[in-house]
Structure formats: C-alpha cells, structure tokens
Amino acid sequence: MPRKFLSGDEAVAEGIRLAQPDVISAYPITPQTVTVERLSEFVANGELESHYMYVESEHSALAAAIGVSAAGARAFTATSSQGLLYMAECLTYASGGRFPIVMMNANRATALPWNIYGDQRDSIALLDHGWIQAYAEDAQEALDLCLMAYKIAEHPDVLTPFMINLDGFALTHTFESVDVPDNKDALDFVGRYEAFNCFSFDEPKNIGYSAGPAYNKYFKYDEHLGMNCALKVIDEVERDFEARFGRSYPGALESYHMEDTELCILTLGSISGLVRECVDIARERGIKLGLVKLRYLRPLPSGQLAQALAGIKALCVLEKDISFGAEGTVFTNIKSVLYDYKIELECFNVIAGLGGDDILPQDIKQIVNTLVDISHNKPYKRLQFLGIDTLQEG
Amino acid sequence: MAAINHKTLREDEFFFGHKACAGCGASLVLRHVLKILGPNAVSVLPAGCMSAVGFNFPNLAFQNNSMISPFAATAPVMSGIRAGFDMRKKRGDKIPDDFCVVGFAGDGATADIGLAALSGAIDRDDNLLYICYDNEAYMNTGVQKSSLTPFGAKTTNTPVGTQIQGALSNKKNMFEIVAAHNISYAATASIGYLPDFLKKVAKAKDMPGTRYIHVIAPCPTGWGHADKDTINFAKAIVDCGLWYLAEYEAGDYKISRRPKEFGSIKDYLHSQSRFRALDDAAIAHIEAERDAKWAYIDTHWS
C-alpha cells in the first residue's frame, strides 16, 4: 500500500478518487477548497472517471447531487460553514428522499463575526437534518471514511446521506503520512452503487413527492429506522474494511483507557489526539482518566456510550460548539443518554476552540484538575467557555 | 418525425388525475409538452402549482419519471439527473437514447429564487429542456407578486390601495436574459397559440445543450377571469402585443408572429379583475412601453 504525504483535504480527495463517484458537484469554500481542486486534477488527468460539475452555489451543489442520486448514480460534493448553511434546505431533501449522497464538510466557524477557522458549529447546527455525521480525527481516518461512507450510506437498510466532517485547518490543512489503498482493492471494497431508490425507464416512478398529515409520519419513522440501522452497518463495514486493509475502527465511538477509569473527557474530531496524550500523561501521574472519542454524532451510539460511561465519577464534554441560551449540543445529547440509562455522575461542559481558537495541553490539564476536584466533591460550574470562565467555582 | 400538431399528437396521457383548478393554463403546458417528449421524459418540478397539484402521495399524477426539486434548484437537479444517467450509460447501463430531462418551473421559481441556478446550468450548457410556465405571480401561495408580474397588476401583496395601485415594477424579460447567456435555444410561446408552442417544444426536444421555453399560461384564479377563457386570454396577450412569440438561436432573435394590428390593450386588461383598477393614464403608459418594445423588435429582429 503506497504511503503519501497528504493534508486532510487531500486525503479526502484521494478517498473519493478511490470510491469513484459518477458525478462530483463542486463549489469552492475555505477550508474545503483543496479537496475539490485535487478532484478536478484527478478528473483532468484521467485518474478519475467522473463528471465534474461546476455549480454556481452550494445550494446547487447539493441539489445536483440529489439529481445524480435520483438517476441511480453515485454523487459527491463538499462544503464548509456558510456553504453548508446555504445548502441546509437541500440536506432534508437528500435525507427525506433517501439519497445516499456522501459529502465532506470542513468544520468551520459560522458568521458573524466572519471567521474562516475551525469549530463545529456548522455541522452540529444541522444535526437534525437526517444525515449521518462522522467526525474524523486524522487524515488517514478521513480517507478511510470516504470508502466506508458509501458502503454505509448506500446499504439498503440505511439509505441515508453521509457527512464526513474534518476540523477546518487543524485537520484539512495539516499534513501526515497516509496509506492510500490500491485502486482495485478500494473499488472491490466499495463496489458499484446498485441503486433501487431511483428512476427507472422500465417502470417510471414519481420520487420526492409531497405527503400530507396522514402519511408524513410514516416517511419520517422510516427515516429514523434507517438512521438507527446505520449503527449495525457501521460495525459490519468496519470489520470488512479491517479484513481487507488491516486498519481497525471501533464503531461509532472509541474508548481509550475507559476500562478502569473514574474520570473521562468526551470529545470529537481532531482534538481527540491531544486529549489522548493528556490521558497518558495523567495516568503516569496516577490519575484514572479515560477518553471517549465520539466518531459519529448521528446516529448517536447511545448503548455504546452508556456502556463506556457507566461506573465513572466525573465527565467533561469538550466541544467546539454552543447552542446559545442552552449549552453545547454534544453535552445535551450525552446527558440524555445518562438519563435514559440511569447513569449518575458529575458532568460539565467545556466550550472551546470557537473560531479556531487553540486548545492547548495546559487547557486539557486544567480540565483534568477540575475532574479530580469534582471527584473529591468540590463545587464546579456546569458550563464553561474555555479562556473566559474560570473552571473552578469560587 | 411528422410535424407536430393537435392531430399528430400522441393519444396517451402522462399528466392526469391531478388537482389543478378548472381552467388551469399551466396544467395544459405539462400535458402537451409530455405528449411530445414521450415516456422517457424525466420531469423536475420545484415548489409551485404543478408540483402541489401533481405529487400528493399516494395520488401521483405523472406517468413518466418525475420528482420535486428544492424551490431554487430546478436546473441543478435537472443537471444532476442528466449527468447521472450519462455516466451510467458510459459505464454500460442500459439508458434509452431518447431520454430527455425537462423542468417545469413557474415564474417565481424561474425569474426569482431559481435564477442563479438556471444561469449556472446554461453556463455549463447542460443538456436540458427548461420550461417556464408563466402565470405572472406566485399563484400556489395565493397570488403574490413575482418579478414576472406585470406593471399595474393587483396581487395579494400588491393591493390596490389609496396610495399605491398594484405592482409598480415592469415584468422582467426572462427570454432575453436567458438569450444573453448565448444559450443553444430559447423561445417564447403561449398556450393560446398551441401549434407554435408544440413546434418549438418538438424542435427543442432533440437539440443539444440547454434549451429554454417561456410559455404564457393564464391562471383564472390569479388573473380574475372565467375558467373557460384561459385560452382566449393566452391569445389576447399576444394579439395586443404585450407578449411576443419569438425564438433565439445561434445568436439571432426571430419573431414568430407579428400581429398586423394590435388588439386593444384596454380590453385585454380591463376584462381581468387584476387590472380593473388601472386608469387611462396607466393604460397609456403600458401602451407606450409596448410600442417602444415593438419598434425595437421591428428594427432589430428578423
């Protein structure tokens, strides 16, 4: 397997080259642009046989992908931030129409203030739009997700569009050595799209219609079942991937040192690497700390989360997102799992990395100190903006 | 292919069982266009009257492959369908040679919310037939002004008030906006002159690249006339010179029908309730605009 020195954006381009979508509808936006640039080069050089469509907006990029999927072909598009918000109404057309489109989203802050750097407020704001949402930690995972995404999204029991999220700049624009699978091996794994939710000239269909109050709920229920089914399919696809390419993935979440731990930091995306290192350092100091890296935010792996978090004393949910007037949305989701599974623990929410703000080792260290204090029954603040609020109460 | 007219038009129907209003002009557009394009047409309809009346699960009115698109995205959904099938064909799937992607979008979906997306498709010269059925307002939401609503028309958001009477802006010229892209083919039509419309659709069907046909389709509900008079008004708007039948091809404009004498604008306007409040000064203004346009057409177009 050849290794290439790739940025996150380039790793996605390589992964999509291997997955061979029939049509790529592309519109530039920082920090996603490099992905569609590389894809245009692959097409121009004959390394990828796809129709490369220059659309005039993100709204049209996803609309075109919907048309491609309705024609029974494989679609790819990519976006970020305001672009994702601009195409937001098309997200529900894609998910409600059960079109298994794969889209890369470079996580970036949302205006105003205008900001091109990374946080996760863009995709998390659209959590309820019916898309599978995966968050890559590194470029290798980003490439591998491109291959697995089509298999998961196109699975007949799932038929749900798939959003691959990469932290803007922190992941899209940093370089690492990446294993790039052989073309044939990759295509053998991904396969061609065998569509059935599409037009047919033998049996013409009306697809994407309206359904009034009497029927609407059945479509929405079915969509919910499809999304839930993705959890099982993610596992199956990852086992198959491991057998073929040797890299294993742990399902919708990864537990790191959670087996005997008392304290936990839960996060998602590229910051997981730093947290993992901090877990190692804390453990050297005798602190029983673990990490839960949420790889998928939708479907939410509630059962796996409950299993990972049961028995711990204190939890910090660290996220690059805030739902104003409430709390971080990841935190809300996690607390609902805790409630459902009757898991009692102390937990708090750290909002960090907004607008691309650095999250430093000493920041994580301070979170760890707070977790230790909480486990000794010290008071704490439930919601903290990193660098603004003090972590300890009083 | 034999010349298309009402005698040679195929008997089978592709759009029926829908719940359009009595006298609906737009439904006639769809019915006739699909008869020309045949069973391998794939139609795309954004939000609007025709999708609202045609796609009510489980009552689905299209016999050919059809789907709803986002309101602003008729053209890119069409582009996607075309590209998807073309790529499948390239990879060896069996796709009929005569399949045609057709869009049916209203005036708002075309000239307002979907204009940028339509422009993008024409820029790419994607292989599509885009039909704008123009009933001169947002009829599906209950008659609100679009940029194709003519000057002076009363709608539910351009009421006849004491200070302002009806729409203040002129109808946007979509035909010439589209032509300015140097599109492969563009035409205007009216369902009042059906043979001309059918001929243009048949011609556009087998042309390459992006084709655009803008067809006037009166709406009794929004225009305020009897439902039996739809065709009469679709003729009258052409006869009085407020709508012209034309083609744009290979860089040239060509007028399809030059009325020798214009019918009465006042009669055309005052027989519809939307224009009933227009006074003589407003009508004189509309006449002057018409005459200026035709003076230009007569000197510049063949």
CATH of the domain at A60: 3.40.50.970
pLDDT value at position A394? 44
A112 found inside a domain: yes
User: Cβ separation of A205 and B58 shorter than 8 Å?
Assistant: no
CB nearest B87 (choices: A65, A73, A204): A73
A231 lies in the same domain as A358: no
Record: contact A199-B42, CB cut-off 8 A:
yes
Sheet with A314-319: strands ordered across: A253-256, A289-294, A263-267, A314-319, A346-351, A383-385
Domain residues for A318? 253-385
Residue A392, pLDDT score = 55
Sheet containing A51-54: give its strands across. A51-54, A23-26, A75-80, A102-107, A162-167, A132-135, A296-298
Q: Which of residues 131-190 of B touch A (CB under 8 A)?
A: none
Q: How far apart, in whole angstroms, are the C-alpha atoms of residue A23 and residue B295?
A: 47
Q: A223, A245, A267: which is the final residue of a domain?
A: A245
Interface of B with A in 96-125 (CB under 8 A): 96, 99, 116-117, 119-120, 123-124
Chain B residues 57-86 with CB within 8 Å of chain A = 57-58, 60-70, 72-73, 75-86
Inside any domain, residue A393: no
Q: What is the pLDDT of residue B4?
A: 81
In a shared domain, residues A190 and A56 = yes
Domain limit, last residue, from A215, A245, A275: A245
Confidence of residue B6 (pLDDT cuts 50, 70, 90): confident
Other Cβ atoms within 10 Å of A49 Cβ, number: 12
Q: Is residue A392 part of a domain?
A: no
Region of residue A224 (left: phi > 0; alpha: psi -120 to 50; beta: else): alpha
Residues A205 and A330 placed together within one structural domain of the fold: no
SS3 A166: strand
Tell me the average pLDDT across B45-52.
Answer: 96
Q: Does the distance separating the beta carbons of A90 and B73 come in below 8 Å?
A: yes
Q: In this structure, are residues A294 and A135 in contact, taking their beta carbons and an 8 Å threshold?
A: yes
Is A23 in the same domain as A60?
yes
Q: Alpha helices of chain A — where are they, by DSSP H? A: 8-19, 33-44, 58-70, 81-86, 88-96, 121-125, 139-154, 183-190, 213-245, 272-284, 302-309, 329-340, 361-375
CA distance B277 to chain A (A): 38
Asked if A4 and A176 count as a contact pair (C-beta separation under 8 A), the reply is no
Q: What is the mean pLDDT of residues A322-347?
A: 98
Mean pLDDT of A74-78: 98
Report residue A46 CA to chain centroid gap: 30
Cβ within 8 Å, pair A210-B86: no
Q: Confirm whether A136 is domain-assigned.
A: yes
Q: φ, ψ for residue B103 (rounded to 5)?
A: -110, 140
Q: Please name the residues between 9 and 48 in chain B that touch chain A, using a CB distance below 8 Å.
A: 39-40, 42, 44
Residue A26 CA to chain centroid, in angstroms? Answer: 20
State the Cα–Cα distance between residues B91 and A89, nearest whole angstrom: 31
C-alpha–C-alpha distance, residues A65 and A51, integer Å: 11
Q: Look at residue A255 and give its three-state secondary structure.
A: strand
> Do A67 and A108 sit in the same domain of this protein?
yes
- Does some domain include residue A390? no
Looking at residue B1, its pLDDT comes to 54
CA A301, CA B244: separation in Å to the nearest integer? 61
The mean pLDDT of chain A is: 97
Task: Find the mean pLDDT for residues A247-273.
Answer: 97
Confidence at A180, pLDDT banded by 50, 70, 90? very high
Q: How many CB atoms lie within 10 A of CB A91?
A: 21
The DSSP element (H or E) to which B247 belongs, if any, is strand B246-249
Chain B residues near residue A206 by CB distance under 8 angstroms: 55, 60-62, 65-67
Tens digit of pLDDT for each residue in B231-245? 999 999 999 999 999
Subunit contact A67:B95, Cβ cutoff 8 A: no
Q: Report the pLDDT averaged over residues A347-364.
A: 97
Interface contact flag, B83 A23, Cβ < 8 Å: yes
Summarised one tens digit per residue, pLDDT across range B125-149 is 999 999 999 999 999 999 999 999 9
**Fold classified for B25-300:** Rossmann fold (3.40.50)
| Amino acid at position A353, single letter | G
Element (H, E) at B75: helix B74-90
Q: Does A56 touch chain B (CB under 8 A)?
A: yes
Residue A356 and residue A234 share a domain: no
The span from the CA of A71 to the CA of B90, in Å, is 13
To test the contact with chain B by mutation, choose from A55, A76, A203 the residue with the greatest count of B C-beta atoms within 10 A, namely A55
Phi, psi angle pair for B230, to nearest 5°: -50, -50
Determine the longest span between alpha carbons in chain B, in angstroms: 66
**A259 and A376 co-located in one domain:** yes
Look up residue B35 and give its two tokens: 């008869």
Residue whose pair of structure tokens reads 């894609």 in the numeric block: A94
* pLDDT computed for residue A391 by the predictor: 57
Q: Does residue A394 lie within any of the structural domains?
A: no
N-terminal to C-terminal alpha carbon distance within chain B: 27
Pairing mode, if any, of strands B128-134 and B100-106? parallel
Number of inter-chain CB pairs under 8 A, A vs B: 164
Mean pLDDT value across residues B34-58: 96
Beta bridge partners, A178, equal A4
pLDDT digits (tens, 9 = 90+) for B240-286: 999 999 999 999 999 999 999 999 999 999 999 999 999 999 999 99
Within a domain: A122: yes
Q: By percentage, how much of chain A surpasses pLDDT 70?
A: 98
Q: Are residues A303 and A159 in the same domain?
A: no
Query: Which of A216, A245, A274 delimits the end of a domain?
Result: A245
Give chain A's domain count: 2
Q: Element (H or E) spanning B175, and its range?
A: helix B174-179
For residues A38 and A11, what is the distance between their CA atoms, to the nearest angstrom? 10
| Among candidates A54, A73, A211 on the partner chain, residue whose Cβ is nearest the Cβ of B84 | A73
- CATH number assigned to the domain comprising residue A283: 3.40.50.920
Distance CA A52, CA B185 (A): 24
Residue A393 predicted with pLDDT over 80 = no
Q: Which residue has the tokens 């009829």?
A: B139
Q: Is residue A51 included in any domain, yes or no? A: yes
Tens-digit pLDDT profile for residues A205-216: 999 899 999 999
- pLDDT for A102: 98
* Same domain, yes or no: A70 and A199: yes
Mean pLDDT within B172-180: 98
How far is it, in rounded angstroms, from Cα B204 to Cα B187?
A: 9
Place of tokens 């899209």: A172
Same domain, A272 and A320: yes
ipTM for the whole complex:
0.96
Average pLDDT over residues A65-71: 98
Cβ-in-10-Å burial (0-12, 13-18, 19+) of B116 comes to middle
CA distance B184 to chain A (A): 19
B73 and A60 within 8 Å at the Cβ level: the answer is yes
Query: Which residue type does A135 have?
Result: Y
Using a CB–CB cutoff of 8 Å, tell me whether B299 touches chain A.
no
Token digits for A276?
Answer: 């993992």
- Closest-CA residue of chain B to A91: B70
Strand arrangement, sheet containing A206-207 = A206-207, B65-68, B41-45, B100-106, B128-134, B210-216, B185-190, B246-249, B252-255
How deeply is A295 buried, as exposed, middle or buried, from its count of CB atoms within 10 A (0-12, 13-18, 19+)?
buried
Name the closest residue on chain A to residue B126, using Cα atoms.
A53
Q: Do A209 and B80 touch (CB under 8 A)?
A: no
